Amino acid sequence: MCFAPDGFEALMLDDWIFIGIFLLLAPVFPAAALLIPRLIAPRKPNPLKSETYECGIETFGETRVQFKAQYYIFALVFLIFDIEVVFLYPWAVAFDQLPMFAVLEGVLFILILVAGLLYTWRKGVLEWV
């Protein structure tokens, strides 16, 4: 909660103090919820109980198998989009100061993004096989 009575800059700093303290305290609540069972819940582990769950038969081989290369490619496409779209946020905030020319330049930037999307589409990257 922003409690600072004096000045805009003090207000902003207070807000960031709040966020920082929230960042520190937020994991404490769920961690406390995990600590209570440690005190009151029964603990009787045995090998059978802690076995990996899998449809009744024992699991075999490595669990952490190699994953499909497709996931990797999707992650790459996402990365490009995410970073480029984040660059558009300052453009949107400063919209009042922009002349029509700058707006169209932003649109051009988006169109380059679209071209990238079309390219990956044509290359068949977006097909899940």
Partner 1 sequence: MSDPVNSIAEWLRMIMAGWGLSDTLITVILAVLGVVVLATIVLVVDILLVWIERKMVARFQDRLGPNRVGPFGIIQPIADVIKLLIKEDIMPQGADKFIFNLAPILALATVLLLWAVVPFAPTIIGADINVAVLYVVAIGSIGTLGIIMAGWASNNKYALLGAFRTVAMMIAYEVPMIIALLVPVLLARSMGMQSIVEAQSPWYIFVVPLAALILFVSSIAELGRTPFDISEAESEIVAGFHIEYTGMKFGLFYAGELLHALTVSALIATLFLGGWRGPFVDQVPILGPVYLFIKAFLVYYLIMWIRYSFPRVRIDQMLGFNWKFLTPLALFLLIVVAILDKAMVEFEPLWYVVVMLAANLLIVWGTILILRRYARIERIRIAKERPVARALETDMNEFVGQE
Site for partner 1 in 35-54 (CB under 8 A): 36-38, 40-45, 47, 49-54
Nearest Cα neighbor of 128 from 61, 70, 62 is 70
63 touches partner 1 (CB under 8 A): yes
The CB-of-48 to partner 1 minimum distance in angstroms stands at 10
The CB-of-115 to partner 1 minimum distance in angstroms stands at 11
Q: Which position among 7, 9, 57, 92 is part of the footprint of partner 1 (CB under 8 A)? A: 92
Q: Which residues, in sequence order, are CB contacts of 113 under 8 Å at separation 6+?
A: 81, 84, 85
Residue 1 CA to residue 48 CA, distance in Å, equals 50
Residue 40 CA to residue 62 CA, distance in Å, equals 35
77 touches partner 1 (CB under 8 A): yes
Q: Which position among 9, 69, 124, 128 is part of the footprint of partner 1 (CB under 8 A)? A: 128
Residue 7, SS3? coil
Q: Which position among 7, 9, 23, 124 is part of the footprint of partner 1 (CB under 8 A)? A: 23
Q: Do 105 and 99 form a contact (C-beta atoms < 8 A)?
A: no
122 touches partner 1 (CB under 8 A): no
Query: What letter does residue 64 receive in the DSSP assignment?
Result: S
Both tokens of 77, joined, read 């496409």
Site size toward partner 1, by CB under 8 A: 78
Q: Which of residues 97-116 bind partner 1 (CB under 8 A)?
A: 98, 100, 103-104, 106-107, 110-111, 113-114
How many angstroms from the chain centroid is the CA of residue 73? 17
The CB-of-72 to partner 1 minimum distance in angstroms stands at 10
